[in-house]
């Protein structure tokens, strides 16, 4: 089985490549480093030749930037056009749990547009919506700092290890297309404040924290359970506590 990973040099892309190769797949690593540019279309036809599945884990890389919409629209159009040309049997793309509730933010609005392009393409597909990666929680905490105080929204999260998401992506690539959304989350939900407290405790960070319902998440008003999976969910096994311990003391 020949699988092309678009965005293979990124954090999630490199993880997906690892698990696909572990499963014995013939993997094509498509990224700017290998001469493939999803935004311009450069190298896509060559990379997609004889591909059975395409995994799109491209990322724009910044929240709140209006350029994200341009990127995901153009890159998505190019990827889907080439996939259709090469009769790709399964197109997989990584998105975000609750993304339809996050459209006040340009980045998340762009991700929803990306999803809609896939649905409208007619290509057999699976849209994989993941909850926040454990690796992302430190960024959530730090971007919430204001005058030395970490001000967090009152939210429930169900974060998951990036490696477990990558393993699920590799597994789904070998299955029949769902032509719908598959949600992936961690083994347990928790209040964002509690997750932040554990992170700051283990890293010996003494900054004070506060959690208030009116505090926004990346500039967005989100319902308390708006970022928790709603339907059947593929669950990771690693808890945040165990992930922190392994990561910091490895």
What is the reported pLDDT for 148?
87
- Whether residue 26 contacts residue 5, with contact meaning beta carbons closer than 8 Å, is answered with no
pLDDT in tens, 25-54: 999 999 999 999 999 999 999 999 999 999
Helix (H, G, I), strand (E, B) or coil at 244: helix
- Percent of all residues in the chain with a pLDDT value above 70, rounded to a whole number: 97
Q: What is the CATH number of the domain that holds 128?
A: 3.40.50.720
**Per-residue pLDDT at 63 exceeds 80:** no
Triad 128, 184, 38: Cα angle to 5°: 30
pLDDT in tens, 138-160: 999 999 998 889 999 999 999 99
pLDDT in tens, 169-203: 999 999 999 999 999 999 999 999 999 999 999 99
For residue 144, the enclosing domain spans: 2-248
**Per-residue pLDDT at 65 exceeds 50:** no
**Per-residue pLDDT at 239 exceeds 50:** yes
Dig out the tokens for 104 from the structure: 């006040």
How confident is residue 60, by pLDDT bands cut at 50, 70 and 90?
Answer: confident
**Per-residue pLDDT at 128 exceeds 70:** yes
Query: How many domains are contained in the chain?
Result: 1
Question: Measured between alpha carbons, how far is 109 from 4 in angstroms, rounded to an integer?
Answer: 26
Is the dihedral angle over the CA atoms 117, 4, 169, 249 positive or is it negative? negative
């Amino acid at each position: 089985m020949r699988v092309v990973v678009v965005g293979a040099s990124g954090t999630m892309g490199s993880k997906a490549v690892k698990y696909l190769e572990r499963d014995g797949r013939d993997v094509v690593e498509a990224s700017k480093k290998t001469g493939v540019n999803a935004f311009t279309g450069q190298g896509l036809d060559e990379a997609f030749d004889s591909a059975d599945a395409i995994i799109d884990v491209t990322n724009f890389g910044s929240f709140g930037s209006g350029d994200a919409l341009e990127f995901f629209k153009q890159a998505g159009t190019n990827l889907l056009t080439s996939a259709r040309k090469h009769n790709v049997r399964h197109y997989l793309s990584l998105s975000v749990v609750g993304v339809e509730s996050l459209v006040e933010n340009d980045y998340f609005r762009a991700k929803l547009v990306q999803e809609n392009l896939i649905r409208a393409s007619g290509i057999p597909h699976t849209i994989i919506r993941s909850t926040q990666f454990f690796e992302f929680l430190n960024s959530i905490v730090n971007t919430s700092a204001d005058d030395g105080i970490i001000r967090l929204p009152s939210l429930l999260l169900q974060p998951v290890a990036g490696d477990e998401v990558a393993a699920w992506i590799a597994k789904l690539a070998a299955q029949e297309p769902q032509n719908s959304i598959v949600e992936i989350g961690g083994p347990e939900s928790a209040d964002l404040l509690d997750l932040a407290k554990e992170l700051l405790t283990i890293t010996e960070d003494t900054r004070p924290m506060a959690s208030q319902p009116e505090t926004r998440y990346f500039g967005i008003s989100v319902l308390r359970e708006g970022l928790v999976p709603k339907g059947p969910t593929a669950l990771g096994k690693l808890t945040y506590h165990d992930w922190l311990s392994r990561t910091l003391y490895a």
